[in-house]
Structure 1
Amino acid sequence: MRTIQTLEEALARVEDLFQKCDERDESLLAYMRQLAAENEQLKRSVHKLRASKGIKGTTTSSMHSKLTDALRE
């Protein structure tokens, strides 16, 4: 069995299972879509936080260098 890479692949597999058992659960499909959307939002938030942390880290090291230089004088 292949690894599921996308929401579309997961939904297709669930659709196949629904057809095999001759039933359908729309709330399950909606929940899967909701989780996928939430996951994408969290990924964007993490990316944004990591990017801002990198910028702050550069500023902090710059300030540290200036302080070190000032103390040497």
Structure 2
Amino acid sequence: MPRASTVATLPPGSTLLLHTDGLVEVPGERLDAGLRRMRRTAASLAREPLDVFCDELLSGLPLARRDDIAIIAVQLPGH
């Protein structure tokens, strides 16, 4: 299958989160509900140090614990 590439410029201090579906999927719930919840949680933590961001994100979401979870988080330096 063809894959697309995208380039985006992120502002200083931004946090970029890449994740597998195990972070947002909860059995019996629509995927978009899990994505909205994760976006809200991540946005509230975006200015935290990266270790705090990752720990709080994982502990603050209702994880189904039935799927593997992988996250990659990158935080750009501030101004």
Please give the TM-score of this superposition, normalised by the length of structure 1.
0.30
Please give the TM-score of this superposition, normalised by the length of structure 2.
0.28
* Greater share of residues in helix: 1
Higher relative contact order (CA 8 A, sep 6+): 2
Q: From the CA coordinates, give the structure whose radius of gyration is larger.
A: 1
* Greater share of residues in strand: 2
